[in-house]
Amino acid sequence: MKTALLIFSAIFALTSTSWAQQDQPATAFPFVMPDEKPDRPLSEAVARNYDGYDFIRPEQNELYSQFKYTKLAGFDYHGGDGTVTRRDPSKVIFANGKYYVWYTHRNTGFKSVGMSRAAEATDKIPSADWDLSDIYYATSKDGFSWQEQGVAVPRPPKPQPGWRSVTTTDILVWKGKYYLYYQAFMEASGTRGDFCPVAVSYADSPDGPWTSANQVVIPNGAEGEWDQFSIHDPYPLVHDGKIYIYYKSDFDQRPELKPSKIRMQGLAIADNPLGPFKKHPLNPVINSGHETTLFPFKKGVAAIVQRDGMEHNTIQYAEDWVNFKIASITELLPVAAGPFVPDAFTDTNDGRGITWGISHFINAAGDWKRNHTVLVRFDCDLSQDIHDDGMKEHYMKYGPEHHYKYGLSGKQRERIANENKKRLENVSGK
């Protein structure tokens, strides 16, 4: 027995030593980073640089960009008193020699009371910032200065879908006609939650008049399914001769966890703009995000995934339009972005990408008592057709004041003070 043990130990020692030696490369990693994955043992992280990304530097990564923001001219927010909001812009299209954008517009003369006080909402007093809203649109010659044209899709009469509020719209151009998909609220947001399905209106011109299909086109899921309550942020693109609508749902809210909602993105596909839309069996297809922005890129589709989830603050890519992987990590991503996507509806196999669009800033005055959202322009370089070094830097130099603005809360200071007190007591042996 003892001999056997000695033999086993010797074999193990020899094999493990040679294994360790095999694992140790003969030379150090080179100063000049190999363009192709080198044939040598690599750490997981450096191997991921080759296997997980198409580029080894952010500057070269076509799906990496910083984002630059510009205040828009042409929109009146009533002095920021909270009675007027514009938010959740659609993609931007170019038609009739100008740019068009559609968005949620609220102006009932009252401030919103907040989702938690939905019971106090009336047919004039909004609960959430997007309650009692209509779909408006604006046009522009340059994407910076906009002219509001007025209402595109008004709230319909009860009991039509959206009678309480029509919000968070997006545009589809299909066979020469125009379609606006939007969240169709039938209760004040916050009554049970932010619950709604998606409805659609259509027109022969981007200037309307718009006709409501007067039907839900993307229904809530069945009881117990991930998207049983909310179908948010409908986002149509054309791929493979069909209409692909990506959408968000909020689910698995647990009172013991905070913030507790999980937010993910689903996909529904149809041959006809008015449906029926078939939800993808692999839904949810993106594991993070909130008002997720997408655009055709090369053969696949790219997604700006911001705000929520384990992979927030990433730009992702799915060559098959379903299975997404992280293409880059970035910062100050546009919120609820509606980019100008020239090939959104051309069923392209060589998506060119994006360079600008409209997004929004919630609580624009920094005062929840007069909460309102404003539209803003963003610019970036997520395009095969430009290379803007100024958008490929990877270190936003936030000043000290920006960091101090997000300083410690009173509760955190109290925790630290208690830790210090305990440490001092231990020293003095109290």
Closest distance of CB 162 from ligand AAL, Å: 13
Closest CA to 185 of 202, 200, 164: 164
| Closest distance to ligand AAL from the beta carbon of 309 (Å) | 13
Closest approach of ligand AAL to the CB of residue 97, in Å: 31
Q: Based on CB atoms, which residue is closest to ligand AAL, 291 or 343?
A: 291
When the beta carbons of 355 and 371 are compared against ligand AAL, the nearer one is 371
Does residue number 232 form part of the binding site for ligand AAL (CB under 6 A)?
yes
Q: Tell me if the bond preceding 276 is cis, omega within 30° of 0.
A: yes
Count of residues in contact with ligand AAL, rule CB under 6 A: 12
Tell me the three state secondary structure of residue 249: strand
d(CA 321, CA 240): 10
Q: Which residue has 């196999």 as its token pair?
A: 349
Please count the residues of the chain: 430
Does the protein bind ligand AAL through residue 130 (CB under 6 A)?
yes
Q: Does residue 343 touch ligand AAL according to CB under 6 A?
A: no
Q: How far is the CB of 176 from ligand AAL (least distance, A)?
A: 29
Residues 47-66 that bind ligand AAL (CB under 6 A): none
254 is written with which tokens? 């647990």
Three-state DSSP class for residue 393: coil
Q: Which of 227, 233, 379, 381 binds ligand AAL (CB under 6 A)?
A: 233
Of residues 130 and 178, the one with the C-beta less far from ligand AAL: 130
- C-alpha 179/C-alpha 213 separation (Å) is 10
| Strands (DSSP E) found in 107-176 | 134-140, 146-153, 165-174
Starting at the earlier edge strand, list the strands of the sheet with 177-185: 165-174, 177-185, 198-203, 211-218
Asked if 291 is part of the footprint of ligand AAL (rule: CB under 6 A), the reply reads: yes
Q: Which is nearer to ligand AAL, 134 or 291 (CB)?
A: 291
Task: Please list every residue from 209 through 228 that binds ligand AAL, using CB under 6 A.
Answer: none
Which uninterrupted H or E stretch holds 385? none
Interaction of residue 167 with ligand AAL, rule CB under 6 A? yes
From CA 177, how far away is CA 204, in angstroms rounded? 5
Of 165, 139, 161, the closest CA to residue 150 belongs to: 139
290: contact with ligand AAL by CB under 6 A: yes
Contact flags string 235-254 toward ligand AAL, x per CB under 6 A: -------------x------
Residues 170-189 within binding reach of ligand AAL (CB under 6 A): 183
Cβ 330 vs Cβ 313: under 8 Å: yes
Query: Looking at 131, 134, 170, 194, which residue binds ligand AAL (CB under 6 A)?
Result: 194
Q: At 345, phi and psi to the nearest 5?
A: -125, 15
372: contact with ligand AAL by CB under 6 A: no
Q: Nearer Cβ to ligand AAL, position 168 or 283?
A: 168
Residue 336 binds ligand AAL (CB under 6 A)? yes
Q: Which residue has the tokens 């922005």?
A: 293
Out of 63, 85, 88, 113, the only residue in the binding site for ligand AAL (CB under 6 A) is 88
Q: Which amino acid is at 169?
A: T
Note the residues at the interface with ligand AAL (CB under 6 A): 88, 130, 167-168, 183, 194, 232-233, 248, 290-291, 336
